Amino acid sequence: DVKVTQSSRYLVKRTGEKVFLECVQDMDHENMFWYRQDPGLGLRLIYFSYDVKMKEKGDIPEGYSVSREKKERFSLILESASTNQTSMYLCASSLPSGYTFGSGTRLTVV
């Protein structure tokens, strides 16, 4: 089975901090994605990547950046965390027909 691992299950950070969310997949997939999930808003795409060093903006990229230096690792960066970035963050790696998600990181910015 494809495994997508997110490094932290819960995080609490202060406003203005730089935050790194890490995601690793073990199936040599080229495509990886970062979503955030909020009540009533569903899953919204932040950034995605088709290959090493390649990145594309999703629907809500503002306030975020990403890094893909190795194929298996896709990092989401909050340059200066704000309270409106408190959310559940989900990383995914793609199969031809669907995604495998990591277990999610619940980030709280105080």
Q: What residues make contact with other proteins under the rule CB under 8 A?
A: 31, 33, 35, 40-43, 45, 48, 50, 90, 94-104
The DSSP result for the chain, as a single string, is ---EEES-SEEEE-TT--EEE-EEESS--S-EEEEEEETTTEEEEEEEESSTT--EE-S--TTEEEEEEETTEEEEEESS--GGG-EEEEEEEE-SS-EEE---EEEEE-
Cβ at position 15, least distance to other proteins in Å: 25
Residue 10 beta carbon to other proteins: minimum distance, rounded to whole angstroms: 11
Decide whether 12 or 79 has the Cβ nearer to other proteins.
Answer: 12
